[in-house]
Chain A
């Protein structure tokens, strides 16, 4: 009898273990949302810290702009990357760039993209809530998409056929036609549509009310704000990924570089942006302060109307001579204390598919050769130009003009305020009259190299500065292609033409230096980890920041 019992027990165990094992397997491998073949996605898992610490201390941050409450509302997300700093504070997105990957899971724990690029599906992680305690569901995801009015909104709306809510956690976007760029654009690092807004709250307080007192699902809650001046955020301890390290984040809009520097030195600021410039040597010499180079994008020169009759830049040899005449090494030393890197492409190497290294070597500095080319182009004496530098980098403009003078190009520098300059660039060729202007620009845009090409180097863009049949043909092919390797090859081929033909002349990879005070932890050089997120000109995510506790 006893033997019989012993014989039955293993059998029972086996019988029970079989379905349990199936359950375990199902739990570890999420069930598929979409039927049919799927496109391959490279989305890194979220790094969730299960041990929840206590938030402490105050981090006071100085932005170099006046603050806009509109930045707190992702529904009207602008094209400006600045807004993402606030997205990462108050809100959270389905997928987003993080230090451990350019595309990582955020609110979504699973994403799928049909192989024909006509359907995309997401599954939200369980138990998500907004700051007011209300659950975050697929109804909010759908409402956010449908009510989004910001950058790329028309593209998202035109492509959408309908949104299917499978359940509170599962949602499927159905598109009218293949939308291969959807996952790129839906990424929180590129557009605002993936940052989820609480439908119930927005409908209750309205557009102005939301900007004045937004709530979201991000690691910080807005406590108070004075438009243009200051915003105060408090840690939201229930944030799903981890408890924020800092208890209070105060963001101040301080446009004056001297004031930011003084604030760091007196300890009134812990983190300040935009410290590149005349005060950089002082910053580097101060033992109490630390700085991160924060490489953003490369500087480049462009020639509006280069392909029009009468433009001296119509001749490739002139554009090449300009490139040859610039002493990039010296420029970097003067402008950035040697931190910047002379560069051979106008697109940030952090952007996917950007040519770099041996594919885009730093252009040589050879004034004699440049002079020969000018002579061959029929302008040995040079000519006069207008020079339009990106504000407030006027000193850099003067230095470039000094180099150009060596080959006879005499320039008059135009200094515009930032918004006025951006307005001109936004209008592309039309924004800059005449065809004897050299523009010095920078654009650390996320979304892959194709995003930069789409803005500056194709005929149909409102901000187009290059319009070439050869590039157009490649671009049309790229837009029609549903094959990722082919798209990469095409976008690289376009860059090859832009560089080889000197339509855009790269200068150097710019460090947009940020500085921190002594209260920022960790001490020593480990603080550079805050700038690990790719394609991020600001040090997000915010929940990982730590400071010494307030006295």
Chain B
């Protein structure tokens, strides 16, 4: 098992190195960031100064080695567009994205899984039609549309909920007393963006729960359990639900990562200060360090999650670790 974990860890590190290298090259294909910052009329000395400040006057290999060297020391570089260290800005935004992502994740699970189960258990009934309709709406109505409708109804018309930002609560890394209250304050700010973001994923979750459940309910072992006279509630809760949840949980894990890292549109329309906006701003402004930093951190999350899953698979199923 130890050897298996070690091999997986090496794979993860290599994957991250490849990711870092690829993104380093790709962002540089988009063009020269200095020309974006320099307005019309900017003289050559000003442009040269910017290029020097950003380290872009160095040859590419020097930029690369210095970037990797700094990364190993935990330095992600300075943002071109926001003039501060990328790590500082990223860490400031990350808790906000986690808060929004987790809230949306919970909404998607709470809506998607029970409705999906209900649809499967009451297949081809009125309940199933309602479930399918919700799934269809969830998948076909984009988050920004739902968000705008929510803003108009609950913000502008009814004045029930604020429409901008995350509220006054802040997660300050250097101040542990803010760590817990942050998650439980300003729910009025969170409600609409979390619903708008979770809504789409709830539709997907509903569909996959329904189809997973139908597959399981149609399987031989469920038929056998039923023939043995086990009560229907036990059949569903103990035998069907568990097995139907495997694809659901795999999807849920990926969804959570997406909700945390790339909720760009929802962040923009609700002015939610998350990492998605950072990535968007970084791409629009050719802010190389910012794009590299955000992509790297998303990559780290995915790689770590996969690593944990791989280790768990190996732990649960010995055939997997023995086959490697």
> Could you tell me if A268 and B162 are in contact, using CB atoms closer than 8 angstroms?
yes
> Could you tell me if B36 and A422 are in contact, using CB atoms closer than 8 angstroms?
yes
Q: Given A69-B84, A427-B35, do A262 and B151 touch, yes or no (CB 8 Å)? A: yes
**What would 28 A/B residue contacts be, using CB atoms closer than 8 Å?**
A66-B281, A69-B83, A79-B39, A79-B46, A152-B43, A152-B46, A154-B46, A155-B43, A208-B84, A226-B273, A227-B79, A227-B82, A228-B273, A258-B269, A259-B151, A259-B270, A262-B163, A266-B156, A268-B162, A268-B165, A419-B284, A419-B285, A423-B31, A426-B36, A426-B38, A426-B41, A462-B44, A463-B41
Q: Smallest distance from the beta carbon of B178 to chain A beta carbons, Å?
A: 13
Q: Which residue from chain B places its CB closest to the CB of A60 in the assembled complex?
A: B164
Q: Smallest distance from the beta carbon of A191 to chain B beta carbons, Å?
A: 11
Q: Given A78-B37, A153-B49, A266-B155, do A254 and B271 touch, yes or no (CB 8 Å)? A: yes
- Give Cα distance in the complex from A97 to B291, angstroms: 38
Residue B88 interfacial (CB < 8 Å) = yes
- Against B, the Cβ 8 Å flags (1 = close, 0 = not) of A459-475 are 00111000000000000
Q: Which residues of chain B are within 8 angstroms of A66 by Cβ–Cβ distance?
A: 81-82, 277, 281
Q: Given A211-B84, A258-B148, do A461 and B41 touch, yes or no (CB 8 Å)? A: yes
Q: Smallest distance from the beta carbon of A464 to chain B beta carbons, Å?
A: 9
- Give Cα distance in the complex from A70 to B81, angstroms: 8
Residue B286 interfacial (CB < 8 Å) = yes
Q: Given A153-B45, A263-B163, A463-B41, do A423 and B35 touch, yes or no (CB 8 Å)? A: yes
- Against A, the Cβ 8 Å flags (1 = close, 0 = not) of B84-95 are 110011001000
Considering the complex, which residues of chain B in the window 149-166 have a beta carbon less than 8 Å from any beta carbon of chain A? Answer: 151-152, 155-156, 159, 162-165
- Give Cα distance in the complex from A200 to B159, angstroms: 48
Q: Which residue from chain B places its CB closest to the CB of A419 in the assembled complex?
A: B36
> Could you tell me if A68 and B83 are in contact, using CB atoms closer than 8 angstroms?
yes
> Could you tell me if B43 and A462 are in contact, using CB atoms closer than 8 angstroms?
yes
> Could you tell me if A227 and B92 are in contact, using CB atoms closer than 8 angstroms?
yes
Q: Which residue from chain A places its CB closest to the CB of B40 in the assembled complex?
A: A463
> Could you tell me if A426 and B42 are in contact, using CB atoms closer than 8 angstroms?
yes
- Give Cα distance in the complex from A424 to B152, angstroms: 38
Residue B278 interfacial (CB < 8 Å) = yes
Residue B268 interfacial (CB < 8 Å) = yes
- Against B, the Cβ 8 Å flags (1 = close, 0 = not) of A240-276 are 0000000000001111101100110110110000000
> Could you tell me if A259 and B284 are in contact, using CB atoms closer than 8 angstroms?
no
> Could you tell me if B45 and A228 are in contact, using CB atoms closer than 8 angstroms?
no
> Could you tell me if A151 and B42 are in contact, using CB atoms closer than 8 angstroms?
yes
Q: Beyond A69-B84, A462-B47, list 14 extra A-B contacts (CB 8 Å).
A: A68-B83, A70-B82, A78-B39, A79-B46, A151-B42, A152-B43, A227-B79, A228-B278, A268-B164, A418-B284, A419-B286, A424-B35, A426-B35, A426-B41
Residue A454 interfacial (CB < 8 Å) = yes
Residue B32 interfacial (CB < 8 Å) = yes
Q: Given A226-B273, A256-B269, do A268 and B163 touch, yes or no (CB 8 Å)? A: yes
> Could you tell me if B84 and A227 are in contact, using CB atoms closer than 8 angstroms?
yes
Q: Which residue from chain B places its CB closest to the CB of A79 in the assembled complex?
A: B39
Q: Smallest distance from the beta carbon of A142 to chain B beta carbons, Å?
A: 20
- Give Cα distance in the complex from A427 to B285, angstroms: 16
> Could you tell me if B83 and A70 are in contact, using CB atoms closer than 8 angstroms?
yes
> Could you tell me if A79 and B38 are in contact, using CB atoms closer than 8 angstroms?
yes
Q: Given A259-B270, A263-B164, A418-B284, do A149 and B49 touch, yes or no (CB 8 Å)? A: yes
> Could you tell me if B46 and A226 are in contact, using CB atoms closer than 8 angstroms?
no
Q: Which residues of chain A are within 8 angstroms of B83 by Cβ–Cβ distance?
A: 68-70, 73, 208, 211, 227
Q: Given A151-B46, A417-B284, A423-B31, do A230 and B40 touch, yes or no (CB 8 Å)? A: no
Residue A150 interfacial (CB < 8 Å) = yes
Q: Which residue from chain A places its CB closest to the CB of B157 in the assembled complex?
A: A265
Q: Which residues of chain B are within 8 angstroms of A69 by Cβ–Cβ distance?
A: 82-84
Count of chain B residues near A, Cβ 8 A: 47
With most chain A CB atoms within 10 A of its CB, the pick from B39, B49, B148, B278 is B39
> Could you tell me if A80 and B162 are in contact, using CB atoms closer than 8 angstroms?
no
- Give Cα distance in the complex from A424 to B32, angstroms: 11
Q: Which residues of chain B are within 8 angstroms of A211 by Cβ–Cβ distance?
A: 83-84
Considering the complex, which residues of chain B in the window 273-323 have a beta carbon less than 8 Å from any beta carbon of chain A? Answer: 273, 277-278, 281, 284-286
Q: Given A254-B164, A262-B163, do A226 and B92 touch, yes or no (CB 8 Å)? A: yes
Residue A367 interfacial (CB < 8 Å) = no
Q: Which residues of chain B are within 8 angstroms of A197 by Cβ–Cβ distance?
A: none
> Could you tell me if B164 and A259 are in contact, using CB atoms closer than 8 angstroms?
yes
> Could you tell me if B84 and A212 are in contact, using CB atoms closer than 8 angstroms?
yes
Q: Which residue from chain B places its CB closest to the CB of A228 in the assembled complex?
A: B82
- Contact partner of A443 (CB less than 8 A), chosen from B37, B40, B163, B271, is B40
With most chain B CB atoms within 10 A of its CB, the pick from A152, A154, A262, A424 is A262
Residue A420 interfacial (CB < 8 Å) = yes
Residue A493 interfacial (CB < 8 Å) = no
> Could you tell me if B84 and A456 are in contact, using CB atoms closer than 8 angstroms?
no
With most chain A CB atoms within 10 A of its CB, the pick from B46, B88, B286 is B46
> Could you tell me if A80 and B39 are in contact, using CB atoms closer than 8 angstroms?
yes
Residue A339 interfacial (CB < 8 Å) = no
Residue A165 interfacial (CB < 8 Å) = no
Residue A354 interfacial (CB < 8 Å) = no
Q: Which residues of chain A are within 8 angstroms of B285 by Cβ–Cβ distance?
A: 419
Considering the complex, which residues of chain B in the window 25-70 have a beta carbon less than 8 Å from any beta carbon of chain A? Answer: 31-32, 35-47, 49
Q: Which residues of chain B are within 8 angstroms of A266 by Cβ–Cβ distance?
A: 155-156, 159, 162-164
With most chain B CB atoms within 10 A of its CB, the pick from A66, A252, A445, A463 is A66
Q: Which residue from chain A places its CB closest to the CB of B38 in the assembled complex?
A: A426
With most chain A CB atoms within 10 A of its CB, the pick from B79, B92, B164, B269 is B164
Q: Which residue from chain A places its CB closest to the CB of B47 in the assembled complex?
A: A462
Q: Which residues of chain A are within 8 angstroms of B39 by Cβ–Cβ distance?
A: 78-80, 151, 422, 426
